[in-house]
Amino acid sequence: MNADRLMERYEQIADAPDAIARLRRFILDLAVRGKLVPQDANDEPASELLERIAKEKARLVRAGEIRNEKPLASAEDDAPFDIPGSWRWTRLGMVTSYIQRGKSPKYAASDGSLVVSQKCVQWRGLDLSVAKQVTIESLADYEEIRFLRDGDLVWNSTGTGTIGRVVRLVDTPEKLVCDSHVTVVRCLEVDPEYIRTWLRSDHVYALIEERAAGSTNQVELTTKMAIHQVVPLPPFAEQHRIVAKVDELMTLCDRLEAARANREATRDRLTAASLARLNKPDPEAFQSDARFALDALPALTSRPDQIKQLRQTILNLAVRGKLVAQDANEEPASELLNRIATKFERAVRDGVLNKPKPVKPIFDDDQLFPLPPRWAIARFNQVASIQSNLVDPKRYREKPHIAPDNIESWTARLLPYVSIGEAGVFSSKHLFSSGAILYSKIRPNLAKVTRVEFDGLCSADMYPIHALIDADFLVKFMITQAFVSQAVSEDNRVAMPKINQSALSDILVPVPPLAEQRCIVAKVDALMALCDQLEASLTAAAETRRRLLDALLAEALTPVEDREMEAAE
């Protein structure tokens, strides 16, 4: 076993997915295999400990303090792994005086006695603040053995996500009982904290998941399963050493977890502050702020959610005119809008485009944010035509079918899709042409938009849109917070959970000169490609750390002689 090498290289794997959680499980695994603390030849062997436990159980049976249970089969044949020579495989029922599920209680509204339920049993400990109460009168129906004591283990026995949680009781209130979803395990002549260490190991949890069954189609740990659960039993003195070492290492994990949380919080604050200075820039300091943010990208973006923030910042800068330089020689956007209006009217007269609703007036206080010179603000229906061409999909079986699920939120990425025939759709769909913008009108998918380069059909829950300005610029604006916040604003909420054409038509759009729109699109695409590279490098780094962690864990758990044999082969 080479656990020391794992700790030496911890800094390299600390940011691997679930690194600390896996380290905790690794510690438990070493503990119950006899690999966490050295064995002591002077310790009373586990075989003699089991003999003493058997004698004590017999005495308790004769005294009438516990029931006489049926003998249990040897555990050796069910041993899942090898253990040290001074250890023995046994069963939980052999090292306990009592294992039993609680009773279904008669609950009291108040002034009763507390009852432990699954909610009370958390990995961090027992939480009686969520405990219900049983009537004082009903306690007369409980045998004395059912009242919980210090040192008892309470073990959640039902429910996916809750089953398997186990806690050792300390400072136990009087007359505390369990409900029928919790099993009580009362240890005899063994350290209950060691037994808890075993019960919360991956070995036991995997066994519960595999074998547990319930009459109500939920995962359930039966009393019989608990009694027959195999246990790797060390000498009594070694149990104490194991518990102490586990406590020490779990405290170390707590510190590592806190340090990681602090590190991430610091990075989050730095990222948020840097991006905030870009999103609400000081004109005089913008260039230096932008240079700092770009230089610090690898340090600021260590998680996918930070890359997402960066993408939004890039888009935010783009649609505010902060990403590319303005050119005083370009045609102002106001003239572009006039030309669009003239072409729009002609296209409507020719039947090429649908007649839009009248343009809602724009007042001074309607501005989204300060715009650069030569830019203009417009309503959505001034720069785009919302199409509606519902058709029978049976006539278009080979055409692509695009639904909201085929579009990634906030990125405009088109995800894999199938044909109308493969999708098996029969209700009416919108027919769209190559170059169309497809926009999901269903909440909460109002950040799902993409541009397609093919003909096809889209869900009736989407709007096909014909752009009258640069289509890629319009798509990029439609995945900014400035657009989405308008789409979900209180003014646009209706009885149905979708944005209607009228509300979409009224959304404000910042319009740069046409040449600048194309420059913005090119710059955004270049920066998004950089974000893609950062995201790919994060994924690759996480996978490398994961593989290194896997290798180190495997090395730490593999006996030296086995590794030497593998090397020789």
Q: Residue ranges of the alpha helices (H) in 183-235? A: 192-199, 202-211, 223-228
pLDDT in tens, the chain (569 residues): 455 666 666 666 666 667 888 888 888 999 999 999 999 999 999 999 999 999 999 999 999 998 888 889 999 989 999 999 999 999 999 999 999 999 888 888 777 889 999 999 998 899 999 999 888 888 888 999 999 999 999 999 988 788 999 999 999 999 999 999 999 999 999 999 999 999 999 999 888 877 655 545 567 889 999 999 999 999 999 999 999 999 998 998 888 888 888 877 877 777 777 666 666 655 555 566 566 666 666 666 667 778 888 889 889 989 999 888 899 999 999 999 999 999 888 888 888 777 777 889 998 888 888 999 999 999 999 999 999 899 999 999 999 999 999 999 999 999 999 999 999 999 999 999 999 999 999 877 789 999 999 999 999 999 999 999 999 999 999 999 999 999 987 555 554 578 999 999 999 999 999 999 999 999 999 989 988 888 888 888 778 877 877 777 777 655 444 444 344 34
Give the model's pLDDT for residue 269. Answer: 79
Amino acid at 147: F
Q: What is the pLDDT of residue 338?
A: 95
The pLDDT value given to residue 299: 64
Domain 333-512, CATH homologous superfamily name and number: DNA methylase specificity domains (3.90.220.20)
Residue 258: what pLDDT? 86
Contact call for residues 510 and 368 (beta carbons, < 8 A): yes
Place of tokens 């020789």: 568
Determine whether 395 is exposed, middle or buried from the number of CB atoms within 10 Å of its CB (0-12, 13-18, 19+): exposed
Predicted local confidence at residue 380, as pLDDT? 96
Torsion sign across C-alpha atoms 508, 512, 515, 519:
negative
Residues 47, 53, 57, CA angle at the centre, nearest 5°? 145
108 forms beta bridges with: 133
- The contacts of residue 148 (CB under 8 Å, 6+ apart) are 116, 154, 169, 172, 176, 177, 178, 184
> Which residue intervals of the chain bear CATH 3.90.220.20?
44-234, 333-512
Closest CA to 340 of 309, 380, 303: 380
Q: What is the CATH number of domain 44-234?
A: 3.90.220.20
pLDDT on residue 545 = 76
State the distance between the two ends of the chain, measured CA to CA, in whole angstroms.
20
Give the per-residue pLDDT at 158. 87
DSSP labels, 480-495: SHHHHHHHTSGGG--S
